[in-house]
Amino acid sequence: MTELRSPAVAGTFYPADPAALRRQLAGFLAEAGNAPPDDTLPKAIIGPHAGYVYSGPVAARAYARLLTARGRIRRVVLIGPSHYVGFQGLAVDTAQAWDMANGRVALDTDAIAKLRQLPMVGTLEAAYTREHALEVHVPFLQHVLGEFRLVPVVAGDASPEAVASVFDALWGGPDTLFVISTDLSHYLDYAACQRTDAQTAAAIERLDVDAFGPSQACGAVPTRGMLLAARRRGLRIERLDLRNSGDTAGGRDRVVGYGAWALYEPASAAAAVDEEHAAVQAAGPTLIQLARQSILFGLNTGAAPQVVSDCALPPLLAAPGAAFVTLHRHGALRGCIGSAVASRPLVVDVAQHAFNAAFRDWRFPRLGWDELAGLALSVSVLTPPVAIEFSGETDLLAQLRPGIDGLIIRDPGHAALFLPSVWEEIDRPERFLGALKQKAGIADGPLPAGFVAQRFRSIEMKGHMEVAGAAPVPAAPEQAWGWRLVPG
């Protein structure tokens, strides 16, 4: 374990002198051309990792797509193959930063901790000691992006599903970039390399995870995982370059193939997700205020509230929505009620669940006035649940994304749900699923016949009951928020 990782191949694969390195990178990028005119950033790039004199011009074609990304991409998940150590699974780094020729790059230790909760992900110092597949990409990233946090992953022997779970866990928004490191065929003659690499490139571009292996691409393991994630998420792939060392700086009797690709999220889907997330976050203070008012209404009247609107509500609040309201007092759970499927206006759903979490959660007595001090509340707005296709419990566990997925499980006689926030207390997929099965009343052992699972995500807003001294702060006039609460 090391706090600061020194480069392994500076001075051999690329210049160790910072000025020489910057000149070489600038030359590669100038030759590659400028970023696309529409300023669209890729979600992922695939590029080679040989010495710069051989593969640098090809890698630059991918990095040219990021020339407008400085200040916009804050996290880079970089995954490549292990060339010197054989192992099962995926290895994350334990360092705090990489001390590169062009300056230090901090590692995203929080993201790495999240990945370590996944099956097949661990640590292996030997996987980083001599490895070049990740390192050679970092100077390009520094040159193009400036400051960012790095999540390095060395891939051993792992399934596409295991690799895709890394991407799912850290997918994030437009500030997260994935970089896949791979060369193509090795040591064929020039013509044979061209034929083989053309077939591999075609397989990559049709997102065919079964059509190539390590003999066609040394980084087949991370590449296949990326293609599986891309297929599931509807990403568009663009070929940027396909050459070999015979085209750049070497002879043509024994060559190594290189390719560069960019993958883009669907513009409409990405925009829709961003728009929905932004709308919910913007409505967060309103939803928290609604939950507060509903609880105060219950304390004052003893009755469940009915929401009456005297004006047109914002579309998000008026549209059907599914939400959970959770109460904690001094850090301990004090109530949690919600719905997984949208069936009524979000404003009604939140008001009813806030009342029910305070007064109708069978696990707790009715909330009293004396408990308002120290009472925290959160409102989680849920996305529609999506079925998970799996072959068994091991496969289901491999697909779960800690910290991201909420989970609903059912069999013919039982059902239960965990919000994504439960990962804060139960941090491993097997424990998460085991606790949810126990909550549902499903026995340990093989999954029963008819067992189904659905995943969802949630956007959580947090607040607290505003208390001055021993008395609750009066609620703001309801008309200012667009509704009134009356007895139901």
Both 242 and 289 in a single domain? no
Decide if 276 is inside a domain: no
Structurally, the chain folds into a number of domains equal to: 2
Look up the pTM and report it: 0.60
Decide if 93 is inside a domain: yes
Both 43 and 165 in a single domain? yes
CA distances from 187 to 194, 216, 257, 413 (A): 12, 11, 9, 59
Decide if 392 is inside a domain: yes
Decide if 200 is inside a domain: yes
Last residue of a domain, one of 236, 265, 294: 265
Decide if 375 is inside a domain: yes
Both 322 and 368 in a single domain? yes
Condensed to tens digits (0 to 9), the pLDDT of residues 385-441 reads: 888 878 788 888 888 888 888 999 999 889 999 999 899 889 889 999 999 999 999
Contact 335, 358 (CB under 8 A): yes
Assess whether pLDDT exceeds 70 at residue 450. yes
Both 159 and 33 in a single domain? yes
Provide the CATH number for the domain around residue 128: 3.40.830.10
Both 305 and 224 in a single domain? no
Both 91 and 14 in a single domain? yes
Both 287 and 406 in a single domain? yes
The tokens describing 326, both together, are 């959770």
Phi, psi of 383 (to 5 degrees): -80, 160
Both 326 and 255 in a single domain? no
CA distances from 21 to 99, 205, 237, 260, 269 (A): 15, 32, 30, 21, 39
Condensed to tens digits (0 to 9), the pLDDT of residues 116-171 reads: 989 899 999 999 999 999 999 999 999 999 999 999 999 999 999 999 999 988 98
Both 230 and 334 in a single domain? no
Burial of 243 (0-12, 13-18, 19+ CB in 10 A): buried
Last residue of a domain, one of 210, 230, 265: 265
Condensed to tens digits (0 to 9), the pLDDT of residues 309-328 reads: 767 777 888 888 899 999 99
Both 180 and 134 in a single domain? yes
What letter represents residue 199's amino acid?
Answer: Q
Both 220 and 342 in a single domain? no
Provide the domain limits for residue 460. 281-487
Terminal CA-CA length for the chain: 61
